[in-house]
Amino acid sequence: MATTASLKIDDKDYPLPVMVGTEGEKAIDTRALRAATGYIAYDQGYGNTGSCESQITYLDGDNGILRHRGIPIEQLAHYSDFVETAYLVIYGELPNQTQRKEFGLRLRKNAAVEMQMQKILEGFPTNASPMAMLSAMVAALPAYHPELATNDFQKDLKNFDLAAAMAISKIRTIVAMIYRYQKGLPFVFPKQELPFCDNFLHMMFSEPYQDYQPVPEVSKALNLLLLLHADHEQNCSTSTTRMVGSSAANLFTSMSAGICALSGPLHGGANVAVMQMLQSIHDEGDDGTRFIAAAKSGSKSNRLMGFGHAVYKNFDPRARIIGDACDTVLAKLGIDDPLLRIAKNLEQAALKDDYFVSRKLYPNVDFYSGIIMRAVGIPMNMFTTMFAIGRAPGYIANWKEVASNPKGRIYRPRQIYVGATKRDYVPIALRG
Ligand code: CMC
């Protein structure tokens, strides 16, 4: 394999080093390009730019491969649960029994959210976006735990285990609090003895004098949903977390920025958009034909939500797992969801349609995740916050890589300026 690439500008050759990852991914190292040639590499949206070296997740979009720390997502979905996968993503290895116990204990002990922080939540209008509330609450965490969030990598890394557990556990609690606040219900305190997902369901759905009774199928479905979101390489929100972290911002602040990035409908917000689309197909009594026809117009506002992916160009392995799980979960819970039938019809129709086939547009994880969340009882406006709970381990692992890299630099892309060239200031009276 080549070890050097060569760039020819006019008649001068510039050698550029070649990098190769452990799975054979190749890159041309352009870090010295500008200094050597005066040129920068242009890559709008960074689609062809490796912004970092990472040991966390391997993703091969052409072949539908996703592995965390080397372990295929299919195996994790089958054998693991969210908490164990979170440990793997963050620490690089599957935990042994002691490590698993200690990690679980840290999560349990750090689940509660400070009483004063509840007042922040209560300052929001009840109809505010749950993602706006979640990002604000996570951004507020450093104020309540300044010892874990000093904005000094060395100090923050010393307290990393505690901060990481706090982030995972509290984000879950905050999501449940947002749900109850919007419904006008009193907050429910976490119970230390409950497993992660059951504790979440308890904080969401317990009633006065009647605690939520765990249903194994529901806990399993929720575990799977969160696990499938645990990390996803350099996606928009994870890259945002890394970018903010690269300024030496603490873990919570960096994660809050990631959560903001996640909220957009082309990223984490897609799961809401999918359900809205399925619901409106259902309400209109359509079989999806009109939606497919509109999606082919090329307009961004008419896209078939839950279809297509920036990197998967064959299939999204998470979509396969979650699509299969939908049938099992709904059957076990005795739910017959007409939206699942619409989703399946839509998928079949699109997969036969040349527009989608030729553009390599396949269902992504969000196409079916909403159906599982609906079955579990999560309202649609909370879907993206569920994605955030699931993605927390990925944000944490990526922040840690940034913080632990002694050679790390602040993220600072360049641009090609295409605005006005130099011109003089004109006083307001003379501006016509
Ligand atoms: N429906 C209809 N046409 C589409 C769609 C879609 N969902 N997605 C892409 N296209 C078309 C697009 O119009 C373009 O057509 P043409 O070549 O004629 O101009 C072609 O396919 C390539 O599109 P692109 O915008 O270059 O694709 P991208 O890789 O930049 O965008 C995407 C990826 C996920 C933003 C996009 O596919 C999309 O908007 N999908 C719907 C939203 C969605 O489901 N997002 C969730 C992503 S998975 C969760 C996550 O990991 O964040």
Rounded to an integer, what distance in angstroms lies between the CA atom of residue 192 and that of residue 178?
A: 20
Nearest atom in ligand 1 to 237's CA:
52
CA distances for 5 relative to 14, 39, 43, 157, 393, angstroms:
8, 16, 18, 37, 36
* Active-site choice (202, 267, 309, 316): 309
91 and 163 both lie in a single domain: yes
Rounded to an integer, what distance in angstroms lies between the CA atom of residue 335 and that of residue 323?
A: 15
Does the beta carbon of 169 lie inside 6 Å of ligand 1? no
Closest to 190 measured CA to CA, from 108, 101, 81? 108
Last residue of a domain, one of 264, 291, 322: 264
In a domain, 196, yes or no: yes
Q: What percent of the chain has pLDDT over 90?
A: 78
Residue 304 in contact with residue 296, Cβ under 8 Å? no
Lowest mean per-residue pLDDT among 1-10, 154-163, 377-386 = 1-10
CA distances for 342 relative to 278, 282, 327, 337, 415, angstroms:
7, 7, 13, 9, 44
Within 8 A by CB and 6+ apart from 229, the residues are 318, 365, 369, 387, 390, 391, 394
Rounded to an integer, what distance in angstroms lies between the CA atom of residue 214 and that of residue 197?
A: 9
Q: What is the pLDDT of residue 420?
A: 98
pLDDT at 269 over 90: no
Rounded to an integer, what distance in angstroms lies between the CA atom of residue 257 and that of residue 250?
A: 11
Rg (CA), the chain: 23
Q: What is the pLDDT of residue 265?
A: 87
For 288, phi then psi, to 5°, come to: 105, -10
CATH label of the domain that carries residue 35: 2.20.28
Residue 103 in contact with residue 258, Cβ under 8 Å? no
Residue 17 in contact with residue 30, Cβ under 8 Å? no
In a domain, 431, yes or no: no
For the chain, the domain total comes to 3
Q: What is the pLDDT of residue 317?
A: 94
* Active-site choice (156, 231, 316, 366): 366
Rounded to an integer, what distance in angstroms lies between the CA atom of residue 97 and that of residue 241?
A: 30
Max Cα–Cα distance, the chain, nearest Å = 81
343 and 238 both lie in a single domain: no
Does the beta carbon of 183 lie inside 6 Å of ligand 1? no
Which residue type does 176 have? A
Rounded to an integer, what distance in angstroms lies between the CA atom of residue 179 and that of residue 14?
A: 57
Last residue of a domain, one of 264, 279, 296: 264
pLDDT at 291 over 90: no
CATH label of the domain that carries residue 85: 1.10.580.10
In a domain, 406, yes or no: no
Does the beta carbon of 270 lie inside 6 Å of ligand 1? yes
Q: How far apart are the first and last CA of the chain?
A: 63
284 and 345 both lie in a single domain: yes
* Degrees to nearest 5, angle at CA 420 with 416 and 422: 105
Does the beta carbon of 319 lie inside 6 Å of ligand 1? no
Residue 62 in contact with residue 315, Cβ under 8 Å? no
207 and 228 both lie in a single domain: yes
Tokens of 415: 């641009």
392-414 pLDDT, tens digit each? 999 999 999 999 999 999 999 99
Within 8 A by CB and 6+ apart from 405, the residues are none
Closest to 329 measured CA to CA, from 161, 207, 215, 172? 215
Tokens of 197: 């997902």
The protein residue whose alpha carbon is closest to atom 15 in ligand 1 is: 298
424's enclosing H/E stretch is none
Does the beta carbon of 253 lie inside 6 Å of ligand 1? no
Active site residue 309: yes
In a domain, 331, yes or no: yes
Range of the domain at 27: 4-50
Rounded to an integer, what distance in angstroms lies between the CA atom of residue 341 and that of residue 268?
A: 23
Q: Give the pLDDT band of residue 24 (cuts 50, 70, 90).
A: very high
98 and 118 both lie in a single domain: yes
pLDDT at 297 over 90: no
103 and 232 both lie in a single domain: yes
In a domain, 33, yes or no: yes
95 and 238 both lie in a single domain: yes
Residue 383 in contact with residue 271, Cβ under 8 Å? yes
Rounded to an integer, what distance in angstroms lies between the CA atom of residue 21 and that of residue 5?
A: 16
CATH label of the domain that carries residue 361: 1.10.230.10
pLDDT at 1 over 80: no
Nearest atom in ligand 1 to 364's CA:
48
In a domain, 413, yes or no: no
Asked whether the CA dihedral 177, 189, 81, 56 is positive or negative, the reply is positive
In a domain, 11, yes or no: yes
Rounded to an integer, what distance in angstroms lies between the CA atom of residue 66 and that of residue 319?
A: 12
Residue 74 in contact with residue 85, Cβ under 8 Å? no
Q: Where are the alpha helices (DSSP H) in 184-235?
A: 196-205, 216-228
Last residue of a domain, one of 264, 291, 312: 264
339 and 235 both lie in a single domain: no
Q: What is the pLDDT of residue 432?
A: 85
pLDDT at 187 over 80: yes
Q: What is the pLDDT of residue 117?
A: 95
Please state the pTM of the whole predicted model. Answer: 0.93
The crossing angle, in degrees rounded to 10, of helices 338-352 and 270-284 is: 100
174 and 279 both lie in a single domain: no
Residue 233 in contact with residue 57, Cβ under 8 Å? yes
Tokens of 383: 């879907």
165 and 111 both lie in a single domain: yes
109 and 187 both lie in a single domain: yes
In a domain, 389, yes or no: no
pLDDT at 285 over 90: no
User: Which letter does DSSP use for residue 38 in this model?
Assistant: S
Rounded to an integer, what distance in angstroms lies between the CA atom of residue 240 and that of residue 348?
A: 35
Rounded to an integer, what distance in angstroms lies between the CA atom of residue 350 and that of residue 304?
A: 9
Q: Which residues pair with 5 in a beta bridge?
A: 16
277 and 160 both lie in a single domain: no
208-260 pLDDT, tens digit each? 889 999 999 999 999 999 999 999 999 999 999 999 999 999 999 999 999 99
61-87 pLDDT, tens digit each? 999 999 999 999 999 999 999 999 999
Mutate to test the pocket of ligand 1, among 43, 309, 357, 369 (most ligand atoms within 8 A of CB): 309
98-145 pLDDT, tens digit each? 999 999 999 999 999 999 999 999 999 999 999 999 999 999 999 999
